[in-house]
Amino acid sequence: MTAIKKIGIIGAGQMGNGIAHVCAAAGFDVILLDINEEALKKGLGTITKNLDRALAKGKLTEADKAATLGRIKPTTAYADFSDSDLVIEAATEDEKIKRAIFAQLCPVLKPEAHIASNTSSLSITRLGAATDRPAKFMGMHFMNPVPVMQLVELIRGIATSEETFSLVREMTLKLGKKPVSAEDFPAFIVNRILLPMINEAVYTLYEGVGSVTCIDTAMKLGANHPMGPLELADFIGLDTCLAVMQVLHDGLADTKYRPCPLLVKYVEAGWLGRKTGRGFYDYTGETPVPTR
């Protein structure tokens, strides 16, 4: 069983740049791919900013920062994954997009290379079947923000080999993360529990039971949550929240998972949360202001 040494990451966005950060910090060589130079520049800028924050807190040295950044090679070419031992796909939560990525990725990989998807809800078995190596494919769901959150959900598809699972679990431990094994059911463990709660908070707002501020304050002070559910939804991205609820609704065929119409309306309006500057809060000013 060959150890993982070189890691490819597809997507330099919110999740991808975080995964690249922790992999490089743990000593792995990283190839970070996105569709254009602008996206890569933005992703590397986020990594640098997060490293600077850790530097200011005394958690690392200038040498550590330089070494971490030096291990990350940005690219727009799939061919650069040719010698990767593991490629982690961290694209948007859209199955068609992920399938299109795998169609470009698989032909350039060496036969022994493994693939993981950072999907937060989609079937690992179905995604694996879209590749040329379902036995070497599995789910590796990091939590956001990746450099801070310890948990990684590891999900086997029906075809995932024990060798693949063991290799990826060992690599996860080297990142300083805590792996938990989840079965290949819609949304796995965390989002199976978390997203229906967020969806119910949106229903509570939709039905006028409480305002944005009251709902978030109630859950922070009444349930001791560090963030209110609507604040958390904005942080995750309302499009991602909706996508997970749709997967739950379609996959489990239970009306309790029906996405709230208000959540649908916000996504249709392009109000996706922090990343667009507006969601359940408006982020254009110095402090977030509730939109309802």
Sign of CA dihedral 110, 114, 118, 124: positive
CB atoms inside a 10 Å sphere around CB 254:
9
Peptide bond into 111 cis (omega under 30): no
**Per-residue CA distances from 165 to 8, 53, 60, 116, 176 (Å):** 17, 33, 31, 10, 17
**Catalytic annotation present for 17:** no
- Catalytically annotated residue among 118, 153, 199, 231: 153
Among this protein's residues, is 268 annotated catalytic? Answer: no
Q: 114 catalytic, yes or no? A: no
**In terms of Cα–Cα distance, which of 260, 261, 282 is closest to 271?**
282
Is residue 144 within 8 A of residue 235, CB to CB? The reply is yes
Which member of 84, 89, 114, 141 is catalytic? 141
For 198-249, the three-class secondary structure string (H helix, E strand, C coil) is: HHHHHHHHHCCCCCHHHHHHHHHHHCCCCCCHHHHHHHHCHHHHHHHHHHHH
Q: What is the DSSP letter of 19?
A: H
Of residues 17, 50, 117, 120, which has the active-site annotation? 120
Quick one: which H or E segment has residue 261?
A: helix 261-268
Residue 253, CA atoms < 13 Å, CB-side half-sphere: 0
Just list the catalytic residues. 120, 141, 153, 191
